[in-house]
Amino acid sequence: MIRYRSRQSLISFFLLILFSVFSVITLFPIFALIMSSFRPGTDLMRFGITMESLLNRDKNLDNYRELFFGERSLFNLWFRNSMIILMLQTSVTVFLTSLVGYGLAVYTFKGRNVLIGLVLILMMVPIQILILPLYKMMITMKLMNTILGVMLPFMLSPIAIFFFRQFCLGLPLELMDAARIDGLSESGIYFRIMSHLMLPAYGAMAILEGLRSWNNYLWPLIVLRTTKKFTIPIGLNTLLTPYGNNYNVLISGAVIATIPIIILFLMFQRYFISGLSSGSVKG
């Protein structure tokens, strides 16, 4: 028995080392990005990220100064645009998809199974193929180059609806009957009772939908026309030209672009795995 125990702990120790090595490899690119952001942009353009850019102690904040206070830098505007979209889109999407998923899970009604089937099929439709007609639609609706145009078409993600439905299947439905006897309306049941039980699901989806909105690329690239209206990803990519020497702004912008979403992740992290695990499995 004792020998068995020690073999067991030897394996655990070995796994711990192995996972630590994987962790270092995983985090290394981000570490390299951060370290290089304190080095001159001309270096990066000519040589890429080198050992030199990691180890050299001659580091300064010039790139960040240029990013935020540079005369021609539009980063502050891009940051603001991205923030507005992140907050609006995430909250609206999470709220609306939770309503739909909840409705599909707790009520039986005519056409419910058809709708569930449609949600499943839409999960397999690449939204990229809809961009051409949606582009025409945005022109007709005069929503080109607007924040609303960026958000509107992809407000309801089928994956999030599917997730909320799976999650709500596990809610204690007896509570609803009890609340009905107490005279609570159906919307009251959602807002006053069920929404509290759905916190883990909101948390998990806030992370995933926030991520989707903050990092969204293709659709904003099509809708947004003037540089002042750009979001961070679109803006950063315009700095990535073979001709301009913008690597200094690009690399510090890349670091800053990652911070808000990491904060969002840390904020909702404790709900993340518990929320996902109660949602994604049944079915």
Our CA dihedral for 152, 155, 157, 162, rounded to 10 degrees, sits at: -140
| Contacts to other proteins from residues 82-111, by CB under 8 A | 96-97, 99-100, 102-104, 107-109
Alpha carbons 209 and 220: distance in angstroms, whole number: 16
CB of residue 87 to other proteins, shortest distance in Å: 17
Q: Which residues of 41-79 are buried (b: 16+ CB within 10 A; e: fewer)?
A: bebbbeeebeeebeeeeeeeebbbebbbebeebbbebbb
| Contacts to other proteins from residues 253-282, by CB under 8 A | 254, 257-258, 261-262, 265, 269, 272-273, 276-277, 279-281
Cβ closest to other proteins, residue 140 vs residue 196 = 140
Among 2, 55, 124, 181, binds other proteins (CB under 8 A): 124
Residues recorded for the chain: 283
Q: Find where tokens 């919307």 sit.
A: 187
Q: Using CA of residue 85, residue 194, residue 123, residue 125, what is the dihedral sign?
A: negative
Cβ closest to other proteins, residue 84 vs residue 156 = 156
- Contact of 190 with 99, CB cutoff 8 Å: yes
CB of residue 207 to other proteins, shortest distance in Å: 9
CB of residue 72 to other proteins, shortest distance in Å: 19
Cβ closest to other proteins, residue 60 vs residue 185 = 185
| Contacts to other proteins from residues 28-87, by CB under 8 A | 29-30, 32-33, 36, 44, 46-52
| Contacts to other proteins from residues 170-209, by CB under 8 A | 186-187, 190
Told to check if 117 binds other proteins by CB under 8 A, we report no
Among 199, 241, 244, 267, binds other proteins (CB under 8 A): 241
Of 126, 283, 106, 277, give the one whose Cα is nearest residue 195: 106
Told to check if 222 binds other proteins by CB under 8 A, we report yes
Cβ closest to other proteins, residue 25 vs residue 71 = 25
Cα 81 to its chain centre, rounded Å, is 16
Cα 147 to its chain centre, rounded Å, is 17
Told to check if 140 binds other proteins by CB under 8 A, we report no
